């Protein structure tokens, strides 16, 4: 849809708005049920299964709507690519491999936080309905980040913006681990957490799109489908790992599912999952991402080279930086 780094960052942040709206709806629906079925986990599981099926059907319909109504503005010559060529292209795509490993680590902490927030609300704040305020604070930060992220990208580039977000998560995650169980402090802290989270997470698919161009530049083969599939697979793995880490950590900390009160070790574990977990994984993911080789300047050079190979004489909109304050171009 676009090859401009700033416009890609815009699309990435707007992409984050949709899931946030979905999460808000889920929180409003689910949080009261956690309290209702606190001592009836089987009934809660049935309820969650029904909600999941409903949202899966709605989500699939929306995917079809997106598929049939999306127009590609950046046209590429389509050539069949064999499985062997796909594997070779991915194997030589260093930015993609670094991105996948870094995000596997980074997102494990973020998804682990999401998996543990309900426990934090129920057992640290004392009421599971307080989850609504925690998620609302993080969600509102996404809307605040919409105009901020492209400006950061325009001035310092996507890589530095990502690393600033990771550094912020390290600091605020550590802070959340130690804060008192006061709802106003928690809400403000999660709002700030959301701002830094968006500085990093809203750019992930923009990085992935850049990796497609890099793969074509290196090998002469364009394997968009395989590149997206591999990156998406690593994201799903991070979600699975995060859920497993949260579950095992709670069990190790002595959490008892049906108990109205939890031992101190379990409460400490919950604090750790919500605070130190994201901080530690953001640190590790950020350190890995330092090796990511594609700056925005280097990416524009690659796009120019690809245009030269394709015989495109002048496409300045795709290679020159755009004004971050201008309206988003139609795509």
pTM, to two decimals: 0.77
Query: Residues 6 or more apart from 157 whose CB is under 8 A from it?
Result: 5, 295, 296, 297
Q: Which of 106, 145, 107 is nearest to 12 (CA)?
A: 145
Dist CA 303 CA 309 (whole Å): 10
The total domain count for the chain is 1
Q: What integer pLDDT is reported at residue 22 of this predicted model?
A: 79
Flag whether 141 is in a domain: yes
Residue range 220-272, pLDDT digits in tens: 888 888 888 888 899 899 989 998 999 899 999 998 877 778 888 999 999 99
Tell me whether residue 244 is in a domain. yes
> What confidence score (pLDDT) does residue 31 get?
67
Query: Is 214 within the bounds of a domain?
Result: yes
Tell how far CA 166 is from the center of its chain. 12
**What is the share, in percent, of the chain residues with pLDDT greater than 70?**
91
pLDDT on residue 163: 94
Q: Is residue 60 in a domain?
A: no
Residue 135: give its domain's CATH number.
1.20.1250.20
The whole domain housing 284 covers 83-319
Q: What is the pLDDT of residue 77?
A: 65
Quote the pLDDT of residue 99: 92
Q: Is residue 43 part of a domain?
A: no
Nearest of 230, 4, 248 to residue 98 by alpha carbon: 230
34-38: long-range contacts (C-beta < 8 A, 24 or more apart)? Answer: 34/118, 34/122, 34/128, 34/131, 35/122, 35/127, 35/128, 35/129, 38/122, 38/128, 38/260
In total, the chain counts a number of residues equal to 331
Give 91-100 pLDDT, tens digit per residue. Answer: 888 999 999 9
Between CA 144 and CA 198 the distance in angstroms is 10
Burial degree of 214 (CB within 10 A; 0-12, 13-18, 19+): buried
The predicted pLDDT at position 60 comes to 95
User: Is residue 157 a part of any domain in this protein?
Assistant: yes
Report the pLDDT value the prediction gives residue 317, as an integer from 0 to 100: 41
* Ranges of the chain whose pLDDT falls below 50: 314-331
- Does residue 328 fall inside a structural domain? no
Residue 71 lies in a domain: no
């Amino acid at each position: 849809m676009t090859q401009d780094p700033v416009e890609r960052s815009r699309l990435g942040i707007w992409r984050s708005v949709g899931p946030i709206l979905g999460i808000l709806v889920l929180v409003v629906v689910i949080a009261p049920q956690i309290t209702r079925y606190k001592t009836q986990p089987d009934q809660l599981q049935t309820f969650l299964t029904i909600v999941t099926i409903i949202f899966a059907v709605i989500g699939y319909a929306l995917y079809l709507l997106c598929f049939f109504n999306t127009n590609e503005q950046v046209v590429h010559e389509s050539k069949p690519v064999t499985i062997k060529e796909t594997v070779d292209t991915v194997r030589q795509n260093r930015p993609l491999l670094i991105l996948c490993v870094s995000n596997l680590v980074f997102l494990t902490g973020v998804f682990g936080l999401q998996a543990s927030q309900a426990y934090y609300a129920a057992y640290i704040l004392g009421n599971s309905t307080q989850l609504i305020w925690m998620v609302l604070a993080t969600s509102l930060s996404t809307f605040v980040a919409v105009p901020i992220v492209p400006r950061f990208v325009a001035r310092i580039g996507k890589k530095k913006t990502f690393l600033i977000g990771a550094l912020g998560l390290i600091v605020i995650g550590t802070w959340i681990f130690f804060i008192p169980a006061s709802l106003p402090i928690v809400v403000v802290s999660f709002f700030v957490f959301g701002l830094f989270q968006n500085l990093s997470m809203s750019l992930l698919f923009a990085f992935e799109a850049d990796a497609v161009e890099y793969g074509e530049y290196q090998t002469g083969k364009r394997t968009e489908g395989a590149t997206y599939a591999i990156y998406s697979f690593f994201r799903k793995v991070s979600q699975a790992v995060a859920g497993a880490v949260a579950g095992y950590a709670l069990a190790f900390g002595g959490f008892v599912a049906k108990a109205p009160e939890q031992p101190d070790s379990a409460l400490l574990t919950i604090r750790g999952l919500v605070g130190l977990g994201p901080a530690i994984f953001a640190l590790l993911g950020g350190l890995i991402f330092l090796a990511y080789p594609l700056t925005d300047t280097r990416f524009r050079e690659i796009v120019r080279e690809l245009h030269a190979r394709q015989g495109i004489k002048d496409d300045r909109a795709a290679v020159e930086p755009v004004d971050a304050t201008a309206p988003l171009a139609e795509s």
